[in-house]
Amino acid sequence: MKNNGLDWFRLDNAAKIFPGQNSRSWSNVFRLAAELKEEVDPVTLEKALNNILKRFPSFDVRIRRGFFWYYLEKNPDKAKVTPDIKNYCYRVKFKENDGFLFRVYFHSKRIAIDSYHVVTDGYGCTVFLSTLIGEYLRLKEKKISYGEFVLNPGDLPSKQETEDAYPRFADSKVKYDRKDKFVYHAVGTRLPMYMCNYTVGIMSFEQIHKITKGYGVTVTEFFAAMLLDIHYRKQLSEKKKQKEVSVQIPVNLRKFFPTKTLRNFVLCLRVKINPNMGEYTFEELLKIVSYQLRLANDKREVNSMMTQNLKIERNPIARALPLFVKNIGVSLAFFFTGEQTTSALISNIGVVKLPEEFYKYVEKFMFFTGPGIVNAARCGVITLGDKLVFSFSDRYEESDIEREFFTRLVKMGIHVKIESNRE
């Protein structure tokens, strides 16, 4: 087996934690979807998928278990597309789907990709989906240009596209001090195993941006403050011992460090408040969230976090431990530092910039984070043109958090169209 960067890959630093967490109750799978303006032809879609796979060698893989680490090797099989399923972001099973760690679905006018986080992050999957749609449309004899998110399947992949970028840039000399506590979690009636509810709000990016600009905050800061406020007030209404409330926000590190990697290259930041310190208005929360996020969202800060995350991987004792021992450690670490330390999550991919011709054929993009174990609000945001799509994913029958969130937006003058798989 040659280590030429195409036949096999070490898991990147972020991906190393996911196989040890993969269980019946939780699997880190997320979904990206596009709604076209015409019915999807599955035969052409499958041909397009296999046409582009050679351009994405870090996607064309299956996972293997070594004595010390998991690793990825080239998958010799052809990828397939299948009709969509209701329980999206269904857990990954390494021996299913011919070993592929992503699944491509179709339904009516929709193309969707459920991706295991070992393979890529939101940015990398957006490039993959956009390139897939571009190739599909070309096979349908549409003229489609290439661009940042639409790669040419005929080009050779660059080394940067398949690199683990974390060790290349993690060089901070300052130890990052983590001070995370167990926080408040909204609870409700659990759905059966593997089932998931989603609620989507489709709105005008221009309308949202006008409001956030008036507050002097970014779109992500505005949405994070909304989630923080809703959870804060929900906990107050329950009249019990008050815990910290926090919102987790994954950050794309490519904006700080120059790399074209299509693998994972994100870090998660948190904004939080302690209700025991007193009451907060929404305007105060906006200021707090903006301050905390802008302080943490700094190249030096994230480099320190990144370097700290690599310490275990670089530790010679940890490297020598067999994989089953590492998996036990990962499971324990996830219990103490995963969802227990965050009340909600919001991941904003941002504005997807596609070639102009795309807008004739693509209606909107949608992004869904996989449902968590205890989080009642895990949210994805993505924008194409003037359509911003905000999604909630959870495993609860209740929808009070989603309803409150979108009701607030409507009261602010935002026109919101709701879509959901709830009965």
Q: Is 193 exposed, middle or buried (0-12, 13-18, 19+ CB in 10 A)?
A: exposed
Domain locations in the chain as residue ranges? 8-159, 169-420
**Mean of the per-residue pLDDT values for the chain?**
90
Residue 2 has pLDDT above 50, yes or no: no
* pLDDT, tens digit, 9 for 90 and up, residues 181-229: 788 888 888 888 778 889 999 999 999 999 999 999 999 999 999 999 9
pTM, two decimals, is 0.93
More confident residue, 247 or 240: 247
The band of 27, judged by pLDDT with boundaries at 50, 70 and 90, is confident
Rounded to an integer, what distance in angstroms lies between the CA atom of residue 249 and that of residue 226?
13
**Considering the chain, what percentage of its residues have pLDDT values greater than 90?**
69
* 324-365 confidence digits (pLDDT tens): 677 777 666 666 566 788 899 999 999 999 999 999 999 999
Which letter does DSSP use for residue 138 in this model?
H
Measuring CA to CA, which residue among 70, 108, 107 is closest to residue 92? 70
What's the pLDDT score for residue 12? Answer: 92
The arrangement of strands across the sheet holding 417-420 comes to 266-273, 245-252, 344-351, 378-384, 387-394, 197-204, 417-420
Select 8-159's CATH number: 3.40.250.10, 3.30.559.10, 3.10.129.10, 3.30.420.10.
3.30.559.10
Q: Give per-residue pLDDT as tens, 262-271.
A: 999 999 999 9
CA pseudo-torsion sign 299, 303, 309, 313: positive
Residue 7 has pLDDT above 50, yes or no: yes
Q: How many other CB atoms are there within 10 angstroms of residue 61's CB atom?
A: 23
CATH architecture of 169-420: 2-Layer Sandwich (3.30)
Residue 179, pLDDT > 80, answer no
Minimum mean pLDDT range among 26-40, 63-77, 247-261, 305-319? 305-319
Q: In 3-state terms, what secondary structure has residue 396?
A: strand
Angstrom distances, CA of residue 31 to CA of 48, 103, 347, 381: 19, 9, 12, 12
Token reading at 389 = 């799509």
Q: What is the pLDDT of residue 381?
A: 98
Say which amino acid occupies 305.
M
pLDDT of residue 297: 87
What local confidence, expressed as pLDDT, does residue 125 receive? 97
Instruction: Please say if the pLDDT value at position 3 is more than 60.
Output: no
Amino acid residing at 387: K
Predicted local confidence at residue 336, as pLDDT: 59
Closest CA to 18 of 336, 334, 307: 334
Q: Do domains 8-159 and 169-420 have the same CATH topology?
A: yes
